[in-house]
Structure 1
């Protein structure tokens, strides 16, 4: 009887850990770009091709942020590997930064709201961060 109770408790705990670790359906990241959330969608290839990564946050790209969705670049880190981008925001400029500081200290590129473009020659494969500017 005690063995059955312990086995049932262990099964319940294992199930609870699975339920807790399931990501939300609207998660951002590798292989996810959500136009409805105004995300930036970075692509591994020029012309918005290959694997992609989406986020609507101001962030310095980290080694855990990786392109997904299949195709060229799948699994490659976003930092210093993006070639093109879509800005799905309707009211904010997306700024891609050369440095992780989000300050355009060396170089940056401002992308108009709801526009896609290739990164310029300085930032292509040299992207370290992104931030947003209101487009009043």
Structure 2
């Protein structure tokens, strides 16, 4: 009887995992972009790419985006370290090889700032201190374009 109970308790998590499926890959946050082939975007707390920063990376060919920045904080040393990234970034660097967009709203909506590969915004235009999501390989409508 106890063997039957153990088998049932093992089978339930396996069924639940299969039922929910795999979630899409999200970008990782840190203070460096170690792989030249990764998508890489850095939010800075202050204008002119200064103050604390957090770098998001996502592998090319995968979604690697962030639908909501609420869970992330500025990690690098400098003004703003420990503050939330969401609605606190003043500048951005796109270190990826594709278009990258910062959105005003979560889930890639609203006004936005779009970046050509390897471009910089010393001061965000449409999402200055109002940034909620990040999309590698995404573009939106009503975006200011940085090149």
TM-score, scaled relative to structure 1: 0.68
Equivalent of 2:104, from 98, 105, 110? 98
Report the Cα offset of residue 55 of structure 1: 1.1
Give the secondary-structure state (helix, strand or coil) at the position aligned to 1:68. Answer: coil
- In the TM superposition, what are the counterparts of 1:1-136 in structure 2 within 5 Å? 28-34=28-34, 36=36, 37-56=38-57, 57-90=64-97, 92-103=98-109, 106-117=110-121, 118-120=123-125, 122-133=126-137
TM-score, scaled relative to structure 2: 0.63
Give structure 2 stretches of 5+ with no counterpart: 1-26, 58-63, 140-147
The question of whether the paired residues in 2 share the 8 Å contact of 1:31 and 1:51 is answered with no
The question of whether the paired residues in 2 share the 8 Å contact of 1:97 and 1:108 is answered with yes
Report the Cα offset of residue 107 of structure 1: 0.3
Q: Note the aligned Cα RMSD (angstroms).
A: 2.2
The 2-side partners of 1:110 and 1:63 are apart by 20
The 2-side partners of 1:83 and 1:44 are apart by 6
The 1-side partners of 2:29 and 2:49 are apart by 16
The 1-side partners of 2:111 and 2:138 are apart by 19
The 2-side partners of 1:30 and 1:76 are apart by 14
* Counterparts in 2 of 1:78 and 1:61: CA distance versus 1, 3 Å: farther
Give structure 1 stretches of 5+ with no counterpart: 1-26
